[in-house]
Structure 1
Amino acid sequence: MRKPTGLERLYVDFDSFFASAEQHLQPHLRGRPVGVIPVDSEHTGLIAVSREAKALGIKRGAFVRDARKACPGLVLVTARHEVYVELHRAIVETIETVLPVKAVCSIDEMVCALLPSEGARAIEIGRQVKEVIASRIGPTLTCSVGLGPNDLLAKIAAEMEKPDGLVALHPADLPGRLLSLELTDIPGIARGNAARLARAGIGDMAALWSLQPKELRRLWGSVEGERLWMGLHGYTVERPETRRRMFGHGRVLPADWRSLNGAYAAARVLLAKASARMRRAGFAARALALWLTDRNSAGWYGEERFQPTWDDPSLLASLSRLFLHAEREDMRRSRSVHVTLHDLVPMAEIEADLFGYTPEAQLKRRMEYLSVLADRLNASHRRTLLHWGPQVSIPGGYAGAKIAFNRIPDAEDF
Structure 2
Amino acid sequence: MNTLQAPQYVAWTEAGAARTARWRSESGTPAPRRVAVADDRTKADDAYKLACEGTALLWRGDFHNARQLLTALARRIDRRPRKRPPADPAQAFHLHRAAQSQRARILGMVLVSLEPGYGLALRRAPDVREACLQAYGPDDEHTGPAAEAVEAAEGAGAVVLPLVVSLRELLGVIGAYEWRKNGVVVPALGGDRVHPYYGVFSPVRGEYVDLVARAPLPSVPGPAFDIGTGTGVLASVLARRGVSRVVATDQDPRALACARENTERLGVADRVEVVAADLFPAGRAALIVCNPPWVPAKPTSPVEYAVYDPGSRMLRGFLNGLAAHLEPGGEGWLILSDLAEHLGLRPRAELTAAFDAAGLTVLDRLDIQPRHPRARDADDPLHAARAAEVTSLWRLGAADPSRART
Q: Same fold (TM over 0.5)?
A: no
Higher helix share: 1
Instruction: Report the TM-score, using the length of structure 2 for normalisation.
Output: 0.25
State TM-score, norm by structure 1.
0.25
The higher-RCO structure (CA 8 Å, 6+ apart) is 1
